[in-house]
Structure 1
């Protein structure tokens, strides 16, 4: 898909124990059984990995990985 998608999948693998072939761009965070605490942890990991600033509301349980990638790509890098 894209380098951002690949890096997001690697965050899910490293932090939540998924295998790379267990996730697809169409999967939602809810479908992956990530609860609200896991989404906060993922938000923090995304901020660190991509150097962007996200609010607690940016990643939602019903967002797909593809939507999350588009969101990350739309955020400016924090200096």
Structure 2
């Protein structure tokens, strides 16, 4: 996977109790049991980690980790 995906999984492991080796790109935030508050916290952590701005609409409970990494990649490209 991409370094963005790996960094996203690292954020989940560090702040949300997700085991790095127990997630897959097709897992959704909902399947990982992240509620709406956790998604807001993840959004803030991702903004800091990646140096980008995210809106409330960028990450959703039904997003897979792969989809979320794609969103983060696209936001990083837009910043450059």
| TM-score normalised by the chain length of structure 2 | 0.93
List alignment gaps of at least 5 residues for structure 2.
none
1:17 corresponds to which residue?
A: 17
Moved over 6 A (4+): none
- Following TM superposition, by how much is the alpha carbon of 1:77 offset from its aligned partner in structure 2, in angstroms? 3.1
Cα distance in 2 for partners of 1:61, 1:15 equals 17
Which structure has more helix as a fraction of its residues?
Answer: 2
**Match for residue 50 of structure 1?**
50
Q: How far apart are residue 57 of structure 1 and its match?
A: 1.3
TM-score normalized by the length of structure 1: 0.94
SS in 2 for 1:54: coil
Contact 1:28 1:63 in 2 (8 A): yes
Aligned-residue RMSD, C-alpha: 1.1
Gaps of 5+ in 1: none
Q: How many residues align?
A: 78
